[in-house]
Amino acid sequence: MTLRELPLKDLQDPTDLLNEVLTETGDEFVELRYHRKRTRSISVEKGRVDQAKISEHTGVGVRVLAQGTWGFASTDRFEKAAVRRALEAARSAAISSASARLNKTAPLPKVDLARGLFELPGTGELIARPLEESLDMVMRLESQARQASTSIQSAGCGYTEIFEEKGVVTSDGAKAWTRLVRPEFRISAVAQKDGEIQRGSESVGATGGWDCLFRNATAESLADKAAKRAVDLLSAGYPEGGRKKVLLSPSLVGLLTHEAVGHTVEADFVMSGSVAAGKLGTRVASDLVTLCDSGISEYYEGAGGSMMIDDEGVPTQNTVIVKDGILKSYLHDRESAAHFEVEPTGNARAWEYDNEPLIRMRNTFIAPGDSTLEEMIAGTEDGLLLDGPANGQADSNGEFMFGTHEAYQIKDGKLGPLMRGVNISGVAFDVLQTVDRVGKDFVWDLGSGHCGKGQPAKVDAGGPWLSCEVVVGGRGA
């Protein structure tokens, strides 16, 4: 038996059953959200299979707005009686906690809500792709990376497919379902010499099929790149720290847009007093900067955070956050949109059925400008070229940090040798004011990433190369 014969269960519209339960409700706002998540995953390290996994997490999450208060409950059974019980539990939770709610939530305003099937490409293709082929690829590339140099001690490689089907019905008109697949590929190598250990890693993620996943680089080239980075870093020096001019790669521009700006404009964070509060219509960046968050994969297909409807049934859109340096919009769910008296932007997302929808980013990016990378290097007198995203975090005061895997010194417009990666920091809107060049070639490059905000979310981010000033944490400051 091959895994080709391990079909995902027949894909069916789940909204009819939800709608039958919904018709039995009273006057409150009710949202029923079916979410079936099925994951296939393989990982290998040093020639050994660590993971060969299929997992399923399926159920229905129910939100009720009763007496001006939200209640939430969930069930892992997709059947009418169980959904009805969850609905009653959510209603009971709302009512029993309503006395502690100081400012009652007003009924949500009418908005255009999605109806019908919304499907992104790739599901059928990857279901039909035998997992044996994926295992062969992962084994082969792990071996390729491990044997790339005698300095390499071990390598690891993983491939994951997340299949998602969702259906959402609400008492004010949403009745939509969606399906998509998000594949991810990761490879890493660990090199060692004279007691020194360095790691190189590469990863890609997409919403869509195989071609989307490996659109910008083949799996083989990613394995070579990870191995080379691990080996090269063994003999690389540390850059000096301090405030510096840097050229950020598209993946790091993605991190910058996500960490430095994206989180501060999530409307729930704005309402708590984030640094973006009260700044709509003001200049927050150089006029070279146009920064957006889109549910659609702009420029080309496959961005890893793509979704056609959000988890409240709102159709997604390209939300322009900063236009030519001016702050234009926050990111909203239905409740925050009502608070700010704007239309929702389709940013309500829940990781699994038993999570409540929160305001989350999707595909966040800086729009391309007109410089080539060569021009940007030539125009830099003293600085660093940075590439390879590590983790990042943003703060309420606009301060952000993120890690990079590699750095190259730039002196008098010439690129120097590889140096070890650094962490960089800055205050978001201050850094964006320093942007003096924006590249013209656009890349989505964070599709393998997850954003954390109490619950994970698959997001993507990217942009062109960008020139700006940040604080670099090096050695020997």
Partner 1 sequence: MSSQELQAPPFNPEQEESRLLDRCEQLVEMAVSGGAEEAEAFGTFSQVSCVSFEKGDLKMAQVDDGTSIGLRVFKNGKLGFTSTNQTEVSSLEEAARDACTLADFSVADEMNQLPEAHPLSQQTGSLVQAEVGSFGLEQVVECGREFVERTSARDPRIAIDKADAQASRISVAVHSTTGVHFSESDASIGLSVFGMAVDGDDVGGFDYWGGNVRDLSRLAALTDETIERFSDAVLGNLKAGAAESYTGPVLFSPAAFLSCFVSPVVSASSAIAVQRGRSALAGKLGEAFADSRLSITDDPTDLELSGAGCFDREGQPTTRFSLVEGGVLKSYLYNAYAAKVDKCESTGHASGGARSVPGLGPHAISVAAGSDGDQAAMLKALDRGLFVQRFSGTVDPASGDFSGVAKSARWVENGQVVRSLKETLISGNAFELLNRVGALSSTRELIFSSARAPFALIDGLSVTAG
Q: Closest distance between partner 1 and the C-beta of residue 162, in Å? A: 13
The alpha helices in 154-266, defined as continuous H runs, are: 210-213, 219-234, 250-255
Q: Mark residues 399-438: x for contact with partner 1 by CB under 8 A, - for none.
A: x-x-x----------------xxxx-xxx-----------
CA-based Rg of the chain, rounded to a whole angstrom? 24
Taking CB under 8 A as the criterion, the residue among 198, 347, 409, 448 binding partner 1 is 198
456's tokens = 């994970």
Look at strands 399-411 and 382-394 and give their pairing.
antiparallel
Which region among 27-35, 271-279, 295-303, 411-419 touches partner 1 (by CB under 8 A)? Answer: 271-279
Closer of 49 and 378 to partner 1 (Cβ): 49
Which region among 18-26, 106-114, 264-272, 441-449 touches partner 1 (by CB under 8 A)? Answer: 264-272
Which region among 22-30, 196-204, 439-447, 459-467 touches partner 1 (by CB under 8 A)? Answer: 196-204
402's tokens = 């993120």
Write phi, then psi, for 420 (nearest 5 degrees). Answer: -70, 155
* Number of residues counted as binding partner 1 (CB under 8 A): 91
For position 274 contacting partner 1 by CB under 8 A, the verdict is yes
Q: Closest distance between partner 1 and the C-beta of residue 61, in Å? A: 9
Q: Please say whether the beta carbons of 308 and 316 come within 8 A.
A: yes
Taking CB under 8 A as the criterion, the residue among 154, 317, 372, 434 binding partner 1 is 154
Which is nearest to 465 in space by CA: 279, 263, 256, 281?
Answer: 256
For position 143 contacting partner 1 by CB under 8 A, the verdict is no
Which region among 240-248, 283-291, 322-330, 372-380 touches partner 1 (by CB under 8 A)? Answer: 240-248
Binning the chain into helix, strand and coil, the percentages to the nearest 5 are: 25, 40, 35
For position 107 contacting partner 1 by CB under 8 A, the verdict is no
78's tokens = 């997709």
Q: Please say whether the beta carbons of 13 and 117 come within 8 A.
A: yes
Q: Closest distance between partner 1 and the C-beta of residue 12, in Å? A: 15
Opening angle at CA 463, ends 462 and 465, nearest 5: 120
**Binding residues among 442-461 for partner 1 as defined by CB under 8 A:** 454
| Cα(190)–Cα(47) distance, integer angstroms | 14
Q: Closest distance between partner 1 and the C-beta of residue 291, in Å? A: 20
122's tokens = 């790739």
For position 275 contacting partner 1 by CB under 8 A, the verdict is yes
Closer of 463 and 474 to partner 1 (Cβ): 474
Residue whose structure tokens are 């409807």: 309
For position 2 contacting partner 1 by CB under 8 A, the verdict is yes
Closer of 1 and 412 to partner 1 (Cβ): 1
372's tokens = 């080539």
Q: Please say whether the beta carbons of 177 and 167 come within 8 A.
A: yes
Burial 335-349 (b: 16+ CB within 10 A, else e): bbbbbeeebbbbbbb
379's tokens = 């125009």
**Binding residues among 280-299 for partner 1 as defined by CB under 8 A:** none
**Binding residues among 21-80 for partner 1 as defined by CB under 8 A:** 44-46, 48-59, 63, 69-74, 76
Q: Closest distance between partner 1 and the C-beta of residue 299, in Å? A: 29
Taking CB under 8 A as the criterion, the residue among 100, 128, 381, 412 binding partner 1 is 100
**Binding residues among 319-358 for partner 1 as defined by CB under 8 A:** 354, 356
Closer of 52 and 378 to partner 1 (Cβ): 52
